[in-house]
Amino acid sequence: MKSYLKFLSRNKLYTAIEAVGLAVSLAFVILIGTYLTQQQAIVRENPARKEIYTFGMPDYYGLTKGFTDVLRERLAEVETATSYIGETNRPVVWFEDGTRVQAGTAGTDADFFRLFPGYVLPGTHPETLESESGCLVSESFARLHSLSRGSLLRIDGIEGDITVGGIFRDFDRTLFKPRDILVSVRSPLFDSYSLFDQYGSTVTFAKVRQGTDREAFYDKAEALCKELYPRFYGQMFFDHLSLIRLDELFFNEAAGGDSRFTHGDARARRLLLLVVLLLLGSAVLNYINLSLALTSRRAKEMATRRLLGASRREIHGKYLLESLFFTTICTLIALLLAETFVPAFNRILNDPDIAVSLSVSPFLLGLLLLLDLAVGAAAGLIPAAIAGRYEPADVVKGAWRRNSKMRLSKVFIVLQNILAAFLIALALVMGAQYRGSLRRPLNCDITDCYALSVSSPQDKAVLLDRIQQLPCVVAAGYGDGPGINPGGQGATTRDGDEIMYRFFRMDTTVFRFLGIEVVKDFGTPVLDCVYFGERGFAAAGYDEQNHDIGDLSRRTRGADDIAGIIKDIPWDNSNQGDAGYIVVSILNPASFPLRYAPLLIKTRGNHKEAEDAILETVRAWDPGETLYISTHVWLEDNFKAGLQPTRNNLRLVELFTLLAVLIALLGLVAMSTYFSDIRTKDVAIRKVFGGTVDSELRHEVREYMVMVGIACAAGIPVAVWAARRYLEQFTWKLEGYAWAFVAAVVITLAISLLSVLWQVLRAAKTNPAVELKKE
């Protein structure tokens, strides 16, 4: 090992390149491996995960409050079933000492803990949830407020005292979003939930008998839905029943945006897994490549060992041990780097609910050991096999030097540059799509518009009047802002087909300052009428002569005609999915349920000062604990926030692109150094016979550029396919992006040229007299 350390110290450039490339790649393998492992732990947290199902619509979890009891009574396969209402509001809680706080509350029953026993703590009595006057509190909430079994508290919306029946384990890094208090699903808090309406309000979990056939169970559950929901099943938002097994729930796409459950981004997960494996492969190839190059420098050492009696197997073993030693050092460095990178890595993840948390555990140590052994063996076997091919006599006669064509190294360089070219092209397309999404046409003016949703028993008309009087406010009214996700409403087209509209409700003030463009005015009274977006108007089958909306939707509140056609405005802020069929309903303020009516405010001046003034006015209007502010955001910031997942994916790809380019660049630098060293005699001979610096420079550079050109020819078609797949998910799509692939080729060639030029130029300037004297 001493000779190996001395050798590394004499080849500092090679050693640094090997260590940096391998350690950084391993650091990201550790980060992403930990991230994926922690997500998988959520998937596997329940031992009965393959016998527990949940039910819902195609795009949303849950059905209605009455479904659980009917399912429990009617389907013999169901052993246990429970309801879960993940209340998004935070009711006020009073304690015995008079203090008040807002607490995250959910409704369920005792069967919840029979299906999820991992949340039960000693001394907890789940049957408490069978009573409307009992509750369970989380560990952290109990610790924070000094609660124990038997403590009393009061909850806004429930008459009388509530008794704490026990403490449950925090919903921390689990399928369920954190909740402070669990109350009975039959609590007065949920009296407004209809038994067989308000689809998606209640999630039913059902544990079936082992061996239950999934398809047969689905058929029975579907028949039950047809019976319970005859009006909507099979059409519109409830096109079909969604039956999801518990271990499928975390990565199910319908979980995205659901405030009741944590969610894993399966697409990002696949992307991370693929890219990190490619990066690791590239780093290992780089290490193998450099090790092969360095093998020639150790040829005489190995020949001497053979002459002194060392066997070929011993030479192989020495290479493997040295490789394992080197990769172990790199792995330890990688572990330190990974810990350093954790905060930055978490900031660019799309799953902030399940952030990466590195902790030294037997599992992590075992994983690192396996990774170390695998990489060390892979990086040591090939150089060992190459070194073992030559006898001591071959080395003495120079056969090694004459046969060092390094064909395998050239293949490795091509593979590394394929990855670099692919990622550069994909990063350019993703960056252009993100920037274009920020500038996409909204067909309305959201500048200086502030969306505010508050719930309070106070008179909201008073609040609106006070806000309008603020110096920073230009205008204010009731209404949904573009991009705030107004929800959908099913209706029927003129041809009798079912269609899902995206409804915005607003008063004339909001409609006016948003500057929504009216394409066609039908001359009907604006109040209590609706404007159709262009896509929605065409899809509904209306025309300019026939546009009586009839019983379009209960959300029109009695509107019986169409005021006109408007340019489509975005119904959400993500620029992903369906563009939606837009309907804007212009209502009298009296038509709004004012307790929950959203406000939209047009301001002037500094945003921070305006927001502070608005929120101060809100808190002066309702200074008590009954105030709940659910939304307070500038529409411009909201649209940027909606593109955060797109931006995060872009940042990840940019990061991996940088690493791939760095690894490819380091590999080219090292290999150009190696080839320049062994080809100086060839260059000297050609210069004796009339070669010049320019001719030698062209001769040497051409070989590298051919390799990189082959890499681009292989990598760019894959990038074209990947870019098309990536752009399919967006509503507004980038067009005319062929330049990105041309730029990727130019960038790859330029980086490659610069990385080898200085070493090639050094070889081309060789003085023939000096070089030939060495022979």
Write out the DSSP string of 534-550: HHHHHHHT--SS-----
192-207 mean pLDDT: 88
Q: What is the pTM of this model?
A: 0.76
**Where is pLDDT greater, at 435 or 691?**
435
Query: In the predicted model, what is the mean pLDDT of the chain?
Result: 81
Written as six digits, the tokens of 518 are: 């009216």
At residue 365, does pLDDT exceed 50? yes
Backbone angles phi, psi at 279, to 5 degrees: -65, -45
Cα–Cα distance, 272 to 36 (Å, whole number): 9
Cα–Cα distance, 32 to 26 (Å, whole number): 10
Q: What is the DSSP letter of 178?
A: P
| pLDDT for the residue 7 | 59
Backbone angles phi, psi at 626, to 5 degrees: -80, -10
At residue 534, does pLDDT exceed 80? yes
| 3-class secondary-structure state, position 337 | helix
At residue 375, does pLDDT exceed 60? yes
Cα–Cα distance, 595 to 74 (Å, whole number): 39
| pLDDT for the residue 758 | 64
Backbone angles phi, psi at 293, to 5 degrees: -65, -40
| pLDDT for the residue 294 | 63
- How many Cα atoms occupy the beta-carbon half-sphere of 233 within 13 Å? 17
pLDDT for 225-276, tens place per residue? 999 998 888 876 788 899 999 999 888 876 556 778 888 877 777 777 777 7
Cα–Cα distance, 370 to 367 (Å, whole number): 5
* Strand partners for 178: none
Residue type, 18: E
Displacement of CA 294 from its chain's centroid (Å)? 41
* DSSP-derived secondary structure for 441-499: --SS--TTEEEEEEE-SS-HHHHHHHHHTSTTEEEEEEBPPTTS---EEEEE-TTS-EE
Cα–Cα distance, 225 to 244 (Å, whole number): 15
pLDDT for 553-593, tens place per residue? 444 445 667 888 999 999 888 888 777 888 888 877 666 66
At residue 321, does pLDDT exceed 90? no
* DSSP-derived secondary structure for 588-622: -GGGS-TTT--EEEEE-S-HHHHHHHHHHHHHHH-
Helix or strand (DSSP H, E) at 352: none
Torsion angle in degrees (nearest 10) through CA of 326, 328, 330, 336: -160
pLDDT for 687-739, tens place per residue? 555 555 566 566 667 777 888 889 899 999 999 999 998 898 888 999 989 99
Displacement of CA 266 from its chain's centroid (Å)? 8
At CA 76, angle to CA 113 and CA 73, rounded to 5?
70
Q: What is the DSSP letter of 129?
A: G
Burial class (CB in 10 A: 0-12, 13-18, 19+), 752: buried
**Where is pLDDT greater, at 696 or 357?**
357
* Strand partners for 243: 55
| pLDDT for the residue 403 | 47
At CA 174, angle to CA 168 and CA 176, rounded to 5?
75
At residue 438, does pLDDT exceed 50? yes
pLDDT for 457-513, tens place per residue? 888 889 999 999 999 999 999 988 898 877 777 777 777 777 778 888 888 899 999
Cα–Cα distance, 229 to 224 (Å, whole number): 8
Given phi > 0 = left and psi -120 to 50 = alpha, else beta, which region is 460?
A: alpha
Helix, strand, coil shares of the chain, percent, nearest 5, are 50, 15, 30
Torsion angle in degrees (nearest 10) through CA of 106, 111, 113, 117: -150
Written as six digits, the tokens of 151 are: 């403590």
Task: Pick the closest to residue 111 from 205, 34, 234 (CA basis).
Answer: 205
Strands 181-184 vs 562-566: parallel, antiparallel or unpaired? unpaired
| pLDDT for the residue 239 | 81
Cα–Cα distance, 146 to 739 (Å, whole number): 63
Cα–Cα distance, 511 to 531 (Å, whole number): 11
Burial 672-698 (b: 16+ CB within 10 A, else e): bbbbbebbbebbbebbeeebeeeebbe
At residue 86, does pLDDT exceed 90? no
Task: Pick the closest to residue 30 from 514, 389, 367 (CA basis).
Answer: 367
Cα–Cα distance, 420 to 654 (Å, whole number): 11
Written as six digits, the tokens of 128 are: 């408490």
Q: 122-126, 135-139, 550-554 — which one is most confidently predicted on average? A: 135-139
| pLDDT for the residue 468 | 95
Backbone angles phi, psi at 563, to 5 degrees: -75, -25
| pLDDT for the residue 55 | 93
pLDDT for 616-653, tens place per residue? 999 999 887 677 787 889 999 999 988 888 888 888 88
Cα–Cα distance, 349 to 351 (Å, whole number): 5
Q: What is the DSSP letter of 701?
A: H
Cα–Cα distance, 375 to 283 (Å, whole number): 10
* Strand partners for 628: 455
Q: 88-97, 386-395, 729-738 — which one is most confidently predicted on average? A: 729-738
**Where is pLDDT greater, at 10 or 199?**
199
At residue 173, does pLDDT exceed 90? no
Cα–Cα distance, 642 to 74 (Å, whole number): 43
Cα–Cα distance, 633 to 40 (Å, whole number): 34
At residue 353, does pLDDT exceed 80? no
Task: Pick the closest to residue 87 from 254, 259, 255 (CA basis).
Answer: 259
Cα–Cα distance, 691 to 680 (Å, whole number): 13
Written as six digits, the tokens of 492 are: 């029927």
Task: Report the 10 Å Cβ neighbour count for 237.
Answer: 16
At residue 611, does pLDDT exceed 90? yes
* Strand partners for 629: 454
